[in-house]
Homo-oligomer: A and B are copies of this chain.
Amino acid sequence: MKLRHLTFRLLEVYVSVVRHGSISEAARQLHLTQPTVSLQLKRLSEAVGEPLLEHTRGQLHLTDAGQVLYRACQDMLGRFDDLQDNLLELKGGHSGRFSIAMVNTAQYVMPRLLGPFSQDYPEVDVTVEIGNREQVLHRFHQQLDDIYIFSHPPSLEHAAAARFLRNPLIMIAAEEHPLAGADEISLPRLLEERFLLREPGSATRMLFDSWLQTRGLQLHRSLQMASNEAIRVGVAAGMGVAVVSQHVLPKGLTGIVPLQVEGMPLESHWHFIVRRDRRLPYAARRFLIHADDHLESCLDPAYVCHETRQLLAQLGIS
């Protein structure tokens, strides 16, 4: 294989095709025509001297050589990104950029970490993507971001996770609700109420469903709502009860109270998740380090946990 026949452009195009699983889709993303991308792949394959891709029933697959090349491309392109960051640092201070995707509820938590970080590193550009669980999972699979925030992380191939904050789930009702002042409400009694909850697949719902299942119970009366905000408004209006992350209740909120239910709050944790198979940009690493160093000062110290350094060590980052 001739080094001079390999260009960074070819590597970029290749990585895009693999990531999108389609030559046509990669062409659209790169603003090239489909024959251009097809020809670039051909040139790359010729430079390597091996087939890189194969189509089986319309599905794009990497050959072994294609897999090996893909990893090498990611490493080289990632090293170029590092180089750029290093050069920017030389020019003046710390800069760079990274992207972070989080489930809806995390938007109540993450600004307390991102805010101080942006103050300490004003030149770093942070892109924040917020969505429901399914949307964030999709972004994870498409490798669109550098860091992912889940409260109940799925079991993901290529994922490395670190808990950083407890995320207790509590039961809430309106102040005037019959169960509002009761002690130790039993689960059978509770399940007589109507439950307001998010779409299937949301972490809170999944955790609550599985918790009920371990007790041989399940919900009878429920109403699905599209956002936590809608749930809060509905609970306050007496439409029912709900399990929510304690984070979504601002301090001083009136009209809503937590219920005393056996076995609650449910313990879950906020996690930082990164892909093992993808290079973590300098700025993202810096953020994770900064976050780990400032958990106590930015969040309630009783709720924090420090696994982020382990995560970075796992990735070979110190």
Contacts and interface: CB of A to CB of B under 8 A. Distances in A.
Interface of A: 1, 3-4, 6-9, 12, 48-51, 54, 56-57, 63-65, 68-69, 72, 75-77, 79-80, 82-84, 86-87, 90-91, 95-97, 142-143, 278-279, 281-283
A316 to B, nearest CB: 14
A57 B4 contact: no
Nearest to A7: B7
A166 B68 CA distance: 39
Contacts of A54: 278-279
Nearest to A3: B8
A84 B72 CA distance: 10
A140 to B, nearest CB: 13
Contacts of A87: 1, 48-50, 65, 68-69
B279 A64 contact: no
Contacts of A9: 3-4
Nearest to A88: B1
Contact of A72 (B48, B64, B80, B97): B80
A90 B50 CA distance: 10
Contact of A69 (B76, B83, B91, B97): B83
B6 A64 contact: no
Contact of A64 (B49, B69, B282): B282
Contacts of A91: 50
A281 B65 CA distance: 9
A80 B8 contact: no
A96 B64 contact: yes
Nearest to A1: B84
A76 B72 CA distance: 9
Contacts of A142: 57
B3 A4 contact: no
Nearest to A56: B143
Of A65, A82, A84, A281, most B-chain CB atoms within 10 Å: A65
Given A50-B90, A64-B281, 4 more contacts: A1-B83, A6-B8, A64-B283, A75-B79
Contacts of A68: 83, 86-87, 90
Nearest to A144: B56
A72 B4 CA distance: 17
Contacts of A282: 64
B76 A80 contact: yes
A87 B72 CA distance: 11
Contacts of A90: 50, 64-65, 68
Nearest to A69: B83
A63 B6 contact: no
A9 B5 CA distance: 9
25 contacts: A1-B83, A1-B84, A3-B9, A3-B77, A3-B80, A4-B8, A6-B8, A7-B7, A7-B8, A8-B8, A48-B87, A49-B87, A50-B91, A56-B143, A57-B142, A64-B282, A68-B87, A69-B83, A72-B79, A72-B82, A72-B86, A75-B79, A76-B76, A76-B79, A76-B80
